Structure 1
Amino acid sequence: MSSIDRILQKALDGQRIDLEECITLFESDEIEKMGHTANQIMLKWHPEPITTFVVGRNINYTNICDVYCRFCAFYRPPGSEEGYVLPDEVIFKKIQETIDVGGTEILMQGGTNPNLPFSYYTNLLKEIKKRFDIQMHSFSPAEIMKMKDVSDGLSLDEVIKQLHEAGLDSLPGGGAEILDDRTRRKISRLKGSWRDWMDVMEAAHRHGMHTTATMVIGFGESMEERALHLMRVRDGQDKCVQQGYNTPGFLAFIPWTFQPENTRMKKEKASPEEYLKTLAISRIFLDNIPNFQSSWVTMGPEIGKKTLEFGCNDFGSTMIEENVVSAAGTTHKVNISSILQLIREAGKIPAQRNTRYEIIRTFEQEDKIDKDFVMQN
């Protein structure tokens, strides 16, 4: 038995693979074999032939940012004539439009804007919750750390506590990039260490909020750094379970590839094969995270469909609005009709879920309800 076969069989037997074995997988080109194993592991978590998706909207409330990530084409520096902060009424209108088409999730994200006081965020959340019954799955760890900086001395725990009480329901995993400081210093010197990212997530878990975790490949990171990223996410999830927090912790994992267009980093895009391999290895290694989300926004719908054979049980968000990835020239837009079709073409039953991965409705066959839902969207 080859070393790859041995590692994959170990994972199928329910044993944890270690860091060195993870590196071995990343160095291998036996992608189809890894994809098959990842799919078998996915079926242990999700034996039913259902692939979920969420109807959500990204609201990029500000593009002003003082972190200056080399890989970001969206941000504008403080003082830029192209900088903006959306008026509250515009945000409310976008949320209402989302609810009107059956949406259940708002992912607010923006830059680390030094001009916004902490009260801006808590007041906005309170006003949103007064008006709408919707899941606020919002703000990356980098944004949370900026809120701490402008909060007049509040601790990270107190910042998270006040946000949660104001109406923040869960945290997305943006800004993880690669959870290793060598690469982080190279691509985003001011964004903070990998430990800063994890500290925010652990604080959210302590306060009963679930989160997601992400990973971006293609920055020139080593295979060891990719493996370390997965190890640190797995360790963080273990800690959440061991401490007995009232939350599932990291509810989902979402890898994708760096999009170099219009950025200050001119690198060759990671290939679809490299993405699929990373996805499969992530599902194999992260044995304590139940859901894996396809990244069709960056990879396109056909690769998105392929992910359902490589460990994904979820097709992600309909992304009614998305400006950060599209600013880098990636504009794969998929409407709900296309999502239903792609999931069916992959031999799965599509189902709409909420942010907690609870199924709201299934679309077992094309019927009047299915067509009416698509027409609304």
Structure 2
Amino acid sequence: MATDPHRLQEIREKVEAGHRLSFDDGLALYASNDLFTIGELANLVRERYNGNYAYYNVNTHINPTNVCVYKCDFCAFRADLGEDRAYTMDEAQVKGRAEEAHARGATELHIVGGLHNKLPFQYYVDVVRWVKEAAPEIHVKAYTAVEYEWFRKIERAPLKDILGRLLDAGLGSLPGGGAEIFHPEVRDEICGAKASTETWLEVHRTAHELGLHSNATMLYGHIERPEHRIDHMIRLRELQDQTGGFQTFIPLAFHPDNSRMDDIPKPSGVMDLKTMAISRLMLDNFPHIKAYWIMLGIKTAQVALAFGADDLDGTVVYETIYHEAGAETPQEMNIAEIRRLIEEAGRIPVERDTLYNRIEREGARWWPGEHIDVPALAGVVR
């Protein structure tokens, strides 16, 4: 049943007053067919937090191995040990990728991969160390909560010790992957063997306590329903109330190709934009909402800058996980193209580093500038 216009007006009044939306408000937004009003409200919040700026960074991905003990239904990236397509990067390959990234002007390396059943935890520590030896200036954003749970299991060590060893090696922050959908009705079916919801939240809580920032994600457009998405957002919002350590929320559109869920169609453009906008409205304590162009597609990501998103991610380079699942976007975008897309959307492009410090460039050189503040977050009324 579509949402009554009077109900949408009630939500508008709460948003304009800076009041927190409830679970029922979120369901009402998903039930509404008035996409443009939802987008208008999300844009109001987006500009309240980030003005007319839209952010991007120059980054490169490293997926050290695709060998994985888990067999999540939605994953097209993983391989079994011994398969022809299985691989594990060595020191020379990791350092080569880091050196190449630095030469291209990258400020971030995004590192995630499979849970290899024969590799010790020290290998994953070494990957971070190799990157920092080859390119000390690059920020290392490494390993999902699912990987940290695996490290704890194979090393038989407390989570703080695991994180501490990686911090010593050069870890700078955590990505948000592995969250998928928190509600057990869905999580148990699509990825029941991997880290639980409670574990995912524990990893990020512990990282925040150690002074690390992290991102958060949600995989949508498969078997979940609106109530599962809203539940997911509220759990993240509650943890952010406690720690303040999340920087960015990234709604990830499901790509079914080459997975065991390839009978499910990809999310529509309406679903993409509605989920982006509702994320911005529900997550009132998250500074940033990212339109990850790799998964959304370039055109939808550009439109999302008017539906609550204030970040397009970056140049990426060497992304394999979502391209294995059928992503038809290019492997990378250059800075000029990203800036053009942002400007066409009526926004001011700002290059940032991982921690949202402004980057100024002259030729191939870069240096940190001022931090980009979002003081309006402190004014949200619960």
**Could you say which residue in structure 2 is the equivalent of 1:24?**
28
What are the superposed Cα offsets for residues 281-309 of structure 1, whole Å, 9 maximum, x if unpaired?
11011110001111211121111110110
**Could you say which residue in structure 2 is the equivalent of 1:345?**
344
Secondary structure of the 1:169 match is strand
**Could you say which residue in structure 2 is the equivalent of 1:89?**
92
Secondary structure of the 1:160 match is helix
What are the superposed Cα offsets for residues 165-224 of structure 1, whole Å, 9 maximum, x if unpaired?
221110000111111121111111211221111111111111110000011111211211
Query: Displacement, 1:46?
Result: 1.3
Normalised by the length of structure 1, the TM-score is 0.91
* Runs of 5+ unmatched residues, structure 2: 365-382
| Mapping 1:62-81, distance limit 5 Å | 62-81=65-84
Secondary structure of the 2:349 match is strand
Instruction: Choose the corresponding residue for 1:270, options 267, 272, 275.
Output: 267
- C-alpha RMSD of the superposition: 1.6
Measured in 2, the distance between the counterparts of 1:78 and 1:237 equals 38
| Mapping 1:2-13, distance limit 5 Å | 2-13=6-17
Q: Bigger CA drift: 54-63 or 310-319? A: 310-319
Which amino acid is 1:27 matched to?
A: A
Measured in 1, the distance between the counterparts of 2:266 and 2:310 equals 25
**Could you say which residue in structure 2 is the equivalent of 1:154?**
157
| Mapping 1:108-127, distance limit 5 Å | 108-127=111-130
Which amino acid is 2:316 matched to?
A: M
Instruction: Choose the corresponding residue for 2:190, options 187, 192, 199.
Output: 187
**Could you say which residue in structure 1 is the equivalent of 2:282?**
285
| Mapping 1:1-377, distance limit 5 Å | 2-47=6-51, 49-132=52-135, 133-151=137-155, 153-241=156-244, 249-265=245-261, 266-333=263-330, 334-361=333-360
Measured in 2, the distance between the counterparts of 1:57 and 1:199 equals 27
Given that 2:98 and 2:134 are in contact with CA atoms closer than 8 Å, whether structure 1 keeps it comes out as no
Measured in 1, the distance between the counterparts of 2:193 and 2:268 equals 28
Measured in 2, the distance between the counterparts of 1:100 and 1:170 equals 22
Given that 2:217 and 2:250 are in contact with CA atoms closer than 8 Å, whether structure 1 keeps it comes out as yes
Measured in 2, the distance between the counterparts of 1:192 and 1:263 equals 20
Query: Displacement, 1:8?
Result: 2.5
Measured in 1, the distance between the counterparts of 2:318 and 2:238 equals 33
Measured in 2, the distance between the counterparts of 1:8 and 1:97 equals 48
Normalised by the length of structure 2, the TM-score is 0.90
Aligned positions, number: 357
Query: Displacement, 1:125?
Result: 2.1
Q: Bigger CA drift: 210-219 or 116-125? A: 116-125
Query: Displacement, 1:337?
Result: 2.3
Which amino acid is 2:339 matched to?
A: L
Secondary structure of the 1:5 match is helix
Query: Displacement, 1:127?
Result: 3.2
Report the identity percentage.
Answer: 33
